[in-house]
Amino acid sequence: MGAATLPTGSPSRRPLWFALGAVGVLLVVALIVVLVVWRGGAGTPSGSDDSLPGTRPTPTATAEPHAVASAAPAVAAGPRPTSCEAIYSPTMLATLNETGSLNPEWAEEDVNSGVLFGTDDEQLIVVIEGAEHLTCVWGNPDGGSGSGLTSNVVFVTAEQSEAVHQRLLGDGLNCYEELGGIRCVAESTEGAEGIAGQSHFLRDGIWLATRYVNAGPDGYTHDMVATVWAGA
């Protein structure tokens, strides 16, 4: 018998195919690792990774814009006395009580008497009536007489304050800077009836309007300013 012949596709070629197959597997694995690393580094972290250091959560909704601060109030933020007694020092209040009565009933009932306003200018009266204000009338408790005074504490805007200032100048009052604000004064002699006058003060959104006839202690307006703006 002759020597046996090796069949086609003999085992001597199998190690080559095995090696090629192993190389192919390694290449595939390496490619998968590269893809995983590349995608993991460049991708946006998912919601499950929000707690990991260095990650940045993806916004889920558009933030609402912050509200813009409102404009300055119509009336300047200054002192705001709420009663006539609060605008005088104790000494001035005692002096006024000696010579008259605060807001007597007849003055409040007779709205046409003209004693409710610290000015006789019709345009300025309109400003007073249209604004928040206090009315402080000092007069005879038994009825109208030839003596008395009225002060209005009027809360005004900056524009109104300047308009009042200009109107007082136009009315011929003497206006000047004093005590941190604008003071306007006028006084006239009315023959046998005595003395009548006006004193106005504008500061920080407040207009102190005073009109008097044969009344008004010395330092009346200065006392109001020192009391209303106490500590300022």
The DSSP secondary structure of 66-97, one letter per residue, reads: PPPPPPPPSS-S-----SGGGGS-HHHHHHHH
| Count of domains observed in the chain | 1
Is 181 contained in some domain?
Answer: yes
Is 17 contained in some domain?
Answer: no
pTM of model > 0.75: no
Residue 93 CB coordination number (10 Å): 17
Q: Which residue has the tokens 């814009």?
A: 65
Boundaries of domain holding 174: 84-228
* E strand map for the chain: 101-102, 133-139, 148-155, 174-178, 181-189, 195-203, 206-213
Which tokens go with 216? 């008004």
Q: What is the CATH number of the domain that holds 146?
A: 3.40.1000
Report d(CA 212, CA 195) in Å as an integer: 8
Is 50 contained in some domain?
Answer: no
Is 193 contained in some domain?
Answer: yes
Q: Are 173 and 200 in contact (CB under 8 A)?
A: yes
Cβ contacts of 208 within 8 Å, gap of 6 or more: 87, 118, 151, 152, 153, 154, 199, 200, 201, 202, 221, 224, 225, 228
Is 211 contained in some domain?
Answer: yes
Per-residue confidence (pLDDT) for residue 109, from 0 to 100: 80
Number of helices (H), then strands (E), in the chain? 6, 7
Is 25 contained in some domain?
Answer: no
Report d(CA 232, CA 226) in Å as an integer: 9
Is 133 contained in some domain?
Answer: yes
Per-residue confidence (pLDDT) for residue 174, from 0 to 100: 97
Q: Are 199 and 210 in contact (CB under 8 A)?
A: yes
Phi, then psi, of 210 in degrees rounded to 5: -130, 135
Per-residue confidence (pLDDT) for residue 222, from 0 to 100: 97
User: Mean pLDDT for each 10-residue chunk of the chain (232 residues)?
Assistant: 40 37 41 40 41 39 34 59 97 94 87 85 96 96 85 97 98 97 89 84 97 92 97 74
What is each CA distance from 158 to 131, 155, 189, 202, 207, in whole angstroms?
A: 13, 10, 33, 10, 11
Is 69 contained in some domain?
Answer: no
Per-residue confidence (pLDDT) for residue 145, from 0 to 100: 78
